[in-house]
Amino acid sequence: MGEKIDPNLWSDGATPHLMGGRLPSGQIVFPMPTGDAAEGVEPYKLSRRGKLWSWTQQGFLPKEPYEGPGSGPGEGPPDFQPFLLGYVELPGEVIVESLIVDARLEDLHLGMELEFCIVPFNARYDTFAFRPAAQAESQAA
């Protein structure tokens, strides 16, 4: 595994969780605020499972400088592959924008159960994503 793309984005340990914050009002936010915005905010481990709320496929290369999957030092132009993005509702908590992995566009449906996972972002860093829960369960067995 690589380094975390952001050291505070998810918890460490055998079962990592995205880290949000609980505002003094009780509202859950993601990501955990930093600096002055973090005053009075308690770190909060978000649920590892959620439901697909909305999605799309990114079919074109993002703006320069692109440092995502398929890019790296000395590799020349990135070997770009379209990828899935979605909003995942963590019930009672928050809606998170995320990569969706281990799925095809035609497999996705509203309310689909997804689970948090960590994936390579590029040669150096890892990031978070969500994948179909059935996939996660079959890989763990």
Residue ranges per structural domain of the chain:
3-140
CA distance 22 to 1: 29
pLDDT tops 90 at residue 88 = yes
User: For residue 98, what are its two tokens?
Assistant: 């995320």
Q: Name the β-bridge partners of 51.
A: 89, 113
Percent of the chain scoring above 70 in pLDDT: 83
Amino acid letter for position 76: G
The residue-averaged pLDDT of 32-60 equals 94
In whole angstroms, how large is the CA radius of gyration of the chain? 16
- pLDDT classification of 82: cutoffs 50, 70, 90: confident
> How close are the terminal C-alpha atoms of the chain, in Å?
21
- pLDDT classification of 22: cutoffs 50, 70, 90: very high
Q: Give yes or no for a contact between 10 and 118, defined as CB atoms under 8 angstroms apart.
A: yes
pLDDT of residue 132: 97
- pLDDT classification of 64: cutoffs 50, 70, 90: low
Percent of the chain scoring above 90 in pLDDT: 69
